[in-house]
Amino acid sequence: MKKILALIISFSLLAHTFGQRATPALKITHLTGDFYVFTTYHDYKGTAFPSNSMYLVTNKGVVMFDTPWDTTQFQPLLDSIQARHHKKVAICIATHFHEDRTAGLAYYRQQGISTYTTRMTDSLAAAHNAKRAARLIDKDTVFTVGQYNFETWYPGQGHSPDNIIIWFGQQRIIYGGCLIKSVEAKDPGNLSDANVKEWPATIHRIQKKYKHPNFIITGHQDWLSKNALEHTLQLLQEQDNKKGW
């Protein structure tokens, strides 16, 4: 009986270990051309929940959009980028003040990386004791880094008061962060700082301004579908019906 019990415990431990290893600490996926999505994981409601960010490789260095949510992956990400592309990260832009976007700003600033947020994000970060960037964006801005141009745009309130998106016109990529929900999402997620009444109008503005995107990178979960904007509106409508906002 003791031997059987020992075997059961051993198999349970192995299964637990295997389950832990099944979720990588850092996942880097090629998107298109010089664009890559990186995913880290953080405990959310008892599960390892994926958080998507992105980076762009230019001939003037790498541009990172948002930071890892998992604080243990700040340096491993830099190491992976260096090993894969033989380049250093030059710029990091965070798209709103929550920690799944800003957690690494102070660390990357210490590494000599130019960190950016909007002035609104910086004010909210200061108020919530979140990590802050060294440089501030005062208005919608077109950045030119090496051979690439991209636009930061504030479409209005939604997931948070300050959420911006990044638009890559030539490649027709919308980097939406947490403002845009994955088609895997069953609900609008964290609403602690959301403006649920304005959120649908914000999504409609994105749809009107940036038509026919080739890729829509969402802040969490699967990012392969082009229907993420429509799905976000559907989730908000369903939530509205339930809550009667």
C-alpha span between 209 and 43 (Å, rounded): 35
Domains of the chain: 28-243 (3.60.15.10)
CB 106 within 8 A of CB 59: no
Q: What is the 3-state secondary structure (H, E, C) of the chain?
A: CHHHHHHHHHHHHHHHHHHHHHCCCEEEEEEECCEEEEEEEEEECCEEEEEEEEEEEEECEEEEECCCCCHHHHHHHHHHHHHHHCCCEEEEECCCCCHHHHCCHHHHHHCCCEEEEEHHHHHHHHHCCCCCCCEEECCCEEEEECCEEEEEECCCCCCCCCCCEEEECCCCEEEEECCCCCCCCCCCCCCCCCCCCCHHHHHHHHHHHCCCCCEEEECECCCCCCCHHHHHHHHHHHHHHHHCC
- Known catalytic residues are 96, 98, 100, 159, 190
Residues of the chain falling short of pLDDT 50: 1-21, 245
The fraction of the chain above a pLDDT of 90, given in percent, is: 85
The pLDDT assigned to 47 comes to 85
C-alpha span between 209 and 155 (Å, rounded): 9
The pLDDT assigned to 241 comes to 83
The pLDDT assigned to 14 comes to 37
**Has this prediction a pTM greater than 0.75?**
yes
The pLDDT assigned to 22 comes to 67
The pLDDT assigned to 23 comes to 75
